Structure 1
């Protein structure tokens, strides 16, 4: 799936190289899109992404990659087929590969994600 078919601002370019300071609060402040996702840096074969989100993402899965979500601020929910994972600041969760899920945020929420560099954020289905 292409990220162009969805109403999200997904920036897959790597914003910072190894050795650069990353000013996360400045990036959060500069963003006004309701579902913003920016790749901050690459660490080995993974990337760290910043999400500034509010509202709902669509149901999707990643066939070959796990996803790690860490809540910096706000309130983040991950709907699974059998339950809802409710995350607050300082909490994290790993969505295992192949698991159908829908992230959502009832208020402006800042998250960090760690995932394989080649992952397509919108999923495989």
Structure 2
């Protein structure tokens, strides 16, 4: 679903059940969106999401949830309010604690896995 306020495509539905193979490459090949987020599966009270990203997200925060980003391919830059930016290359991860204002940028097509609670709102808390 595309949020009318933001140009991102966020699919919150859980794409795979337990005991199913998750084929990320097929999702990447079929993606035509510049900023795409798909929930792959649920693990206990959290979800694993795939981000296919190119461009810049907006500044936001999550009051009650931490976020974990793990770059599979490309380069993810995480800007953190009041701190230096963090740059993640392939096979690198980073946790943004709840309440921290941040935004993500991908100067090239980048594949990212995100782990967060199932209740999180990707565009942030108001």
- TM category (shorter chain) comes to over 0.9
In structure 2, the gaps of 5 or more residues are none
Separation (CA, whole Å) in 1 of partners of 2:26 and 2:12 = 18
State the structure with bigger RCO (CA 8 A, min sep 6), 1 or 2: 1
For residues 45-65 of structure 1, the C-alpha deviation after alignment (integer angstroms, 9 at most, x for no partner) is: 000000000000000000000
How does the TM-score come out when normalised to structure 2?
Answer: 0.96
Matched, 1:31 2:58: no
* 1:45-60 pair list within 5 angstroms: 45-60=45-60
Matched, 1:109 2:110: yes
Alignment-derived partner of residue 121 in structure 1: 122
Separation (CA, whole Å) in 1 of partners of 2:5 and 2:13 = 18
For residues 101-122 of structure 1, the C-alpha deviation after alignment (integer angstroms, 9 at most, x for no partner) is: 0001000000000000000000
Residue 4 of structure 1 and its aligned partner are, at CA, apart by 3.6
Separation (CA, whole Å) in 1 of partners of 2:43 and 2:36 = 21
How does the TM-score come out when normalised to structure 1?
Answer: 0.96
Q: Is the 8 A contact 1:51 1:110 kept in 2?
A: yes
Moved over 4 A (4+): none
Separation (CA, whole Å) in 2 of partners of 1:47 and 1:39 = 7
